[in-house]
C-alpha cells in the first residue's frame, strides 16, 4: 500500500474539566493536602465516635475526677469524672455541624441578596448594600452575643447567630462578582434573546460566580468553629453536659494549674481543626485561581 494512501486518524482533542484541572493543581500543594487530611480526620472522628469509644460523654463519676492521662483515659478526665478523649471526639460532631451548616445558611442568604444587588442595581443595590454595611458596623462576636441573648442560649440558636453575622461577607463577595460577570458578552447576548431574569441569574451568572464563594466558605467554616467555641465559652452556645469544645474550655478554666490537660486537649482540637480548614482553604483558592495555570 502506498504510504500516502493510508487513512490517518484525526487528532482528537479532549475537553478538560475546570474542576479536574483544579483538583490536579490542588494535589500538588502539600499544605493544602495536609489541611484536607486534618479535616477528613476530624470528620471521621465525628462519624465513628460511637465505635471508637464505648465510654459515655456525659454523666458523673466522682471516683475518677481529674485523673491525668493514662492508658485507660488517654486524655485524662475532667472535674466530673468524664473521659476527655470521648468528649472531644463527640464534640467534633458538634463543631463541624455548626461550622458546615452555619456557612451553608450564610451562603444561601448572602448569595441570594448579593445576586439581587449586583444584577438589578439601583435602589435594590442601595438597600441591600446599606443593610450589609449596618451589619458590618458591629463587631461580629458582639452581634452574635446579642442575637443569642434574644433567641436564648442553645447550640441551634448559636448556629443561627453565626449564620446571620456572616451573611454580609458572602453577600458582598458575590455582589462584586455579579457586577463583573453581568457585563460579559454572553450575558448581554442572552438578554437580547429575551431570556428571563431568573434563568439568567441562576443558570448563567450564579454558576460563573460560585468559585470565590467556595473558597470563602471553606475558610468560613474555620471562623464559624471559632465563633461557636467563643459562644460556648461564654455559656451562650452549648449547655451543661454537651461536649462542645468551647464549653469544655469554659468548664475547665479553673483547673488551668491543677489539671492543665482539661484545657490543653480541647484547645488543641480547636486549633488543629481550624488550622486544617485554613490550610485547605488557602490551597483551594490558589487551585481555583486561573492566574495560577
Q: How far is the C-alpha of 215 from the C-alpha of 174, rounded, in Å?
A: 12
Within a domain: 16:
no
Angle of CA points 30, 34, 40, to nearest 5°:
145
Within a domain: 80:
yes
Q: How far is the C-alpha of 1 from the C-alpha of 10, rounded, in Å?
A: 20
Within a domain: 2:
no
Instruction: Extract the C-alpha cell encoding 182.
Output: 453581568
What lies within 8 Å, CB to CB, of 105 at 6+ separation is: 159, 160, 163
**What is the residue whose three cell numbers read 484545657?**
263
Residue-range definition of the domain harbouring residue 195? 29-53+75-292
Instruction: pLDDT tens for the chain, 293 residues: list them.
Output: 444 444 444 444 344 566 677 777 777 888 889 998 999 999 998 888 888 887 878 877 778 888 888 888 888 888 888 888 989 999 898 889 999 999 999 999 999 999 999 888 889 999 999 999 999 998 888 999 999 999 988 889 999 999 999 999 999 999 988 888 877 777 778 777 877 778 888 888 888 788 888 888 988 998 999 898 888 888 888 887 788 888 888 888 888 888 888 889 999 999 999 999 998 888 888 777 655 44
The answer to whether the beta carbons of residues 123 and 233 sit under 8 Å apart is no
Within a domain: 121:
yes
Instruction: Extract the C-alpha cell encoding 205.
Output: 451568572
How does DSSP classify residue 255?
A: G
* CATH code of residue 35: 1.10.3720.10
Within a domain: 285:
yes
Within a domain: 67:
no
In Å, what is the CA distance from 182 to each residue of 52, 74, 185? 51, 56, 8
Sign of CA dihedral 166, 168, 171, 173: negative
Total structural domains within the chain: 1
Distinct helix (H) and strand (E) counts, the chain: 12, 0
Within a domain: 24:
no
Within a domain: 113:
yes
DSSP character string of 187-215? HHHHHHTT--HHHHIIIIITTTT-HHHHH
Amino acid at each position: 500500500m502506498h504510504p500516502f494512501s493510508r487513512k490517518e486518524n484525526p487528532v482528537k482533542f479532549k475537553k478538560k474539566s475546570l474542576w479536574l484541572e483544579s483538583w490536579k493543581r490542588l494535589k500538588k500543594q502539600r499544605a493544602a493536602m495536609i489541611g484536607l487530611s486534618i479535616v477528613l480526620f476530624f470528620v471521621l472522628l465525628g462519624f465513628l465516635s460511637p465505635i471508637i469509644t464505648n465510654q459515655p460523654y456525659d454523666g458523673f463519676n466522682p471516683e475518677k475526677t481529674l485523673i491525668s492521662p493514662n492508658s485507660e483515659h488517654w486524655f485524662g478526665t475532667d472535674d466530673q469524672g468524664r473521659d476527655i478523649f470521648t468528649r472531644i471526639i463527640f464534640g467534633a460532631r458538634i463543631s463541624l455541624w455548626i461550622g458546615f451548616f452555619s456557612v451553608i445558611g450564610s451562603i444561601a442568604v448572602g448569595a441570594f441578596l448579593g445576586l439581587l444587588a449586583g444584577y438589578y442595581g439601583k435602589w435594590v443595590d442601595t438597600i441591600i448594600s446599606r443593610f450589609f454595611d449596618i451589619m458590618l458596623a458591629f463587631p461580629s462576636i458582639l452581634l452574635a452575643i446579642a442575637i443569642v441573648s434574644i433567641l436564648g442560649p442553645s447550640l441551634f440558636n448559636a448556629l443561627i447567630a453565626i449564620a446571620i453575622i456572616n451573611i454580609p461577607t458572602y453577600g458582598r463577595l458575590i455582589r462584586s462578582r455579579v457586577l463583573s460577570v453581568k457585563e460579559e458578552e454572553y450575558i448581554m447576548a442572552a438578554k437580547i434573546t429575551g431570556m428571563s431574569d431568573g434563568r439568567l441569574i441562576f443558570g448563567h451568572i450564579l454558576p460563573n460566580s460560585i468559585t470565590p464563594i467556595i473558597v470563602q466558605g471553606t475558610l468560613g467554616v474555620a471562623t464559624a468553629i471559632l465563633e461557636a467555641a467563643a459562644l460556648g465559652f461564654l455559656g451562650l452556645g452549648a449547655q451543661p453536659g454537651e461536649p462542645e469544645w468551647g464549653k469544655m474550655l469554659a468548664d475547665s478554666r479553673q483547673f488551668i494549674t491543677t489539671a492543665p490537660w482539661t484545657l490543653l486537649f480541647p484547645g488543641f482540637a480547636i486549633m488543629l481543626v481550624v488550622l486544617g480548614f485554613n490550610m485547605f482553604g488557602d490551597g483551594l483558592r490558589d487551585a481555583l485561581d486561573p492566574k495560577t495555570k
